[in-house]
Homo-oligomer: A and B are copies of this chain.
Amino acid sequence: MRISARGRYALAATISMATRYDTGDNITVISLSESLGISKIYLEQVFSLLKKAEVVSSQKGAQGGYRLARPPQDISAFEVLWATDLSLFEEVGDTVKDHAPGIEAAMRISVFDAVDSAVKTTLSGVSLKTLADEMKKHRKDQGYMFFI
Protein backbone atom coordinates (compact mmCIF):
# COMPACT_ATOMS: atom_id res chain seq x y z
CA MET A 1 0.00 0.00 0.00
CA ARG A 2 1.29 3.37 -0.95
CA ILE A 3 1.02 5.90 1.85
CA SER A 4 2.18 9.41 1.05
CA ALA A 5 5.08 11.04 2.82
CA ARG A 6 2.64 13.69 4.00
CA GLY A 7 0.47 11.12 5.74
CA ARG A 8 3.47 9.39 7.28
CA TYR A 9 4.89 12.67 8.52
CA ALA A 10 1.55 13.52 10.10
CA LEU A 11 1.43 10.16 11.81
CA ALA A 12 4.99 10.37 13.11
CA ALA A 13 4.44 13.89 14.38
CA THR A 14 1.18 13.14 16.16
CA ILE A 15 2.64 10.01 17.74
CA SER A 16 5.50 12.09 19.04
CA MET A 17 3.03 14.63 20.40
CA ALA A 18 1.06 11.86 22.05
CA THR A 19 4.05 10.90 24.18
CA ARG A 20 4.17 14.43 25.56
CA TYR A 21 0.44 14.98 25.85
CA ASP A 22 0.18 15.04 29.66
CA THR A 23 2.63 17.93 30.03
CA GLY A 24 0.12 20.23 28.36
CA ASP A 25 2.95 22.15 26.69
CA ASN A 26 2.72 23.61 23.23
CA ILE A 27 4.91 21.79 20.76
CA THR A 28 6.53 23.75 17.96
CA VAL A 29 6.80 22.61 14.40
CA ILE A 30 10.52 23.26 14.42
CA SER A 31 11.16 21.02 17.39
CA LEU A 32 9.19 18.23 15.74
CA SER A 33 10.93 18.73 12.42
CA GLU A 34 14.30 18.44 14.13
CA SER A 35 13.53 15.44 16.26
CA LEU A 36 11.96 13.60 13.33
CA GLY A 37 14.39 14.77 10.66
CA ILE A 38 11.70 16.30 8.44
CA SER A 39 11.72 19.59 6.54
CA LYS A 40 10.23 22.27 8.79
CA ILE A 41 8.58 24.18 5.98
CA TYR A 42 6.87 21.08 4.68
CA LEU A 43 5.77 19.96 8.12
CA GLU A 44 4.05 23.33 8.59
CA GLN A 45 1.78 22.52 5.67
CA VAL A 46 1.01 19.14 7.17
CA PHE A 47 -0.04 20.80 10.41
CA SER A 48 -2.23 23.20 8.51
CA LEU A 49 -4.21 20.18 7.36
CA LEU A 50 -4.24 18.59 10.80
CA LYS A 51 -5.61 21.78 12.28
CA LYS A 52 -8.33 22.11 9.68
CA ALA A 53 -9.37 18.56 10.56
CA GLU A 54 -9.36 19.44 14.26
CA VAL A 55 -6.79 16.82 15.13
CA VAL A 56 -4.59 19.50 16.67
CA SER A 57 -5.16 22.99 18.03
CA SER A 58 -2.71 25.84 17.83
CA GLN A 59 -1.52 28.93 19.57
CA LYS A 60 0.24 31.69 17.71
CA GLY A 61 3.04 33.92 18.89
CA ALA A 62 6.04 33.36 21.12
CA GLN A 63 5.79 30.20 23.26
CA GLY A 64 3.04 29.12 20.88
CA GLY A 65 2.81 25.85 19.06
CA TYR A 66 0.50 22.91 18.58
CA ARG A 67 -1.30 20.48 20.87
CA LEU A 68 -3.41 17.43 20.22
CA ALA A 69 -7.03 18.54 20.19
CA ARG A 70 -8.07 15.50 22.26
CA PRO A 71 -6.40 12.84 24.41
CA PRO A 72 -4.27 10.40 22.37
CA GLN A 73 -6.63 7.49 23.03
CA ASP A 74 -9.42 9.45 21.36
CA ILE A 75 -7.54 10.15 18.13
CA SER A 76 -7.26 7.36 15.59
CA ALA A 77 -4.77 6.78 12.81
CA PHE A 78 -7.78 7.07 10.52
CA GLU A 79 -8.34 10.69 11.48
CA VAL A 80 -4.71 11.61 11.00
CA LEU A 81 -4.43 9.98 7.59
CA TRP A 82 -7.85 11.12 6.46
CA ALA A 83 -6.74 14.69 7.00
CA THR A 84 -3.43 14.34 5.23
CA ASP A 85 -3.34 11.46 2.76
CA LEU A 86 -5.54 12.22 -0.20
CA SER A 87 -4.88 9.19 -2.36
CA LEU A 88 -5.72 6.79 0.45
CA PHE A 89 -9.29 8.02 0.53
CA GLU A 90 -9.76 9.14 -3.03
CA GLU A 91 -13.02 8.21 -4.72
CA VAL A 92 -12.65 5.50 -7.32
CA GLY A 93 -13.90 6.89 -10.60
CA ASP A 94 -15.95 5.12 -13.25
CA THR A 95 -14.04 2.53 -15.18
CA VAL A 96 -16.09 1.20 -18.06
CA LYS A 97 -18.70 2.59 -20.36
CA ASP A 98 -22.15 1.15 -19.96
CA HIS A 99 -21.61 -1.25 -22.81
CA ALA A 100 -21.00 -3.70 -20.00
CA PRO A 101 -23.90 -3.33 -17.61
CA GLY A 102 -23.23 -4.57 -14.12
CA ILE A 103 -19.46 -4.76 -14.23
CA GLU A 104 -19.08 -1.32 -12.72
CA ALA A 105 -21.48 -2.16 -9.92
CA ALA A 106 -19.88 -5.52 -9.20
CA MET A 107 -16.41 -4.02 -8.92
CA ARG A 108 -17.62 -1.22 -6.74
CA ILE A 109 -19.57 -3.36 -4.32
CA SER A 110 -17.35 -6.42 -4.04
CA VAL A 111 -13.94 -4.82 -4.44
CA PHE A 112 -13.62 -1.07 -4.02
CA ASP A 113 -16.17 -0.57 -1.26
CA ALA A 114 -15.01 -3.74 0.49
CA VAL A 115 -11.42 -2.56 0.50
CA ASP A 116 -12.31 0.94 1.64
CA SER A 117 -14.32 -0.49 4.48
CA ALA A 118 -11.52 -2.83 5.56
CA VAL A 119 -8.99 -0.01 5.52
CA LYS A 120 -11.23 2.30 7.46
CA THR A 121 -11.97 -0.32 10.09
CA THR A 122 -8.30 -1.13 10.51
CA LEU A 123 -7.18 2.48 10.81
CA SER A 124 -10.04 3.42 13.13
CA GLY A 125 -8.96 0.69 15.52
CA VAL A 126 -5.53 2.18 16.10
CA SER A 127 -5.24 5.17 18.43
CA LEU A 128 -2.31 7.48 18.96
CA LYS A 129 -2.11 6.09 22.48
CA THR A 130 -1.68 2.59 21.10
CA LEU A 131 0.98 3.84 18.73
CA ALA A 132 2.85 5.74 21.40
CA ASP A 133 2.87 2.63 23.60
CA GLU A 134 4.00 0.49 20.71
CA MET A 135 6.74 2.99 20.04
CA LYS A 136 8.06 2.75 23.58
CA LYS A 137 8.30 -1.01 23.22
CA HIS A 138 10.63 -0.54 20.28
CA ARG A 139 13.02 2.15 21.36
CA LYS A 140 16.54 0.82 21.41
CA ASP A 141 17.46 2.59 24.66
CA GLN A 142 14.62 1.08 26.59
CA GLY A 143 16.82 -0.86 28.98
CA TYR A 144 15.37 -4.34 28.77
CA MET A 145 17.49 -5.19 25.80
CA PHE A 146 20.41 -6.95 27.43
CA PHE A 147 22.50 -10.08 27.14
CA ILE A 148 23.28 -12.72 29.74
Contact = CB atoms under 8 A, between A and B. Distances in A.
Classify the secondary structure of A's interface with B: helix
A95 B8 contact: yes
Given A36-B97, A126-B110, A134-B110, A2 B103 contact: no
B15 A95 contact: no
Contacts of A140: 101-102
Contact of A105 (B89, B110, B135): B135
Interface residues of A, number: 57
A129 to B, nearest CB: 11
- One complex includes copies of this chain to the number of 2
Given A37-B99, A107-B131, A88 B2 contact: yes
Interface in A82-126: 87-90, 92, 95-97, 99-107, 109-112, 114-116, 118-119, 121-123, 126
Nearest to A80: B111
Contact of A135 (B3, B102, B116, B123): B102
Interface of A: 1-3, 5, 8-9, 11-12, 15-16, 34-38, 77, 87-90, 92, 95-97, 99-107, 109-112, 114-116, 118-119, 121-123, 126, 130-132, 134-141
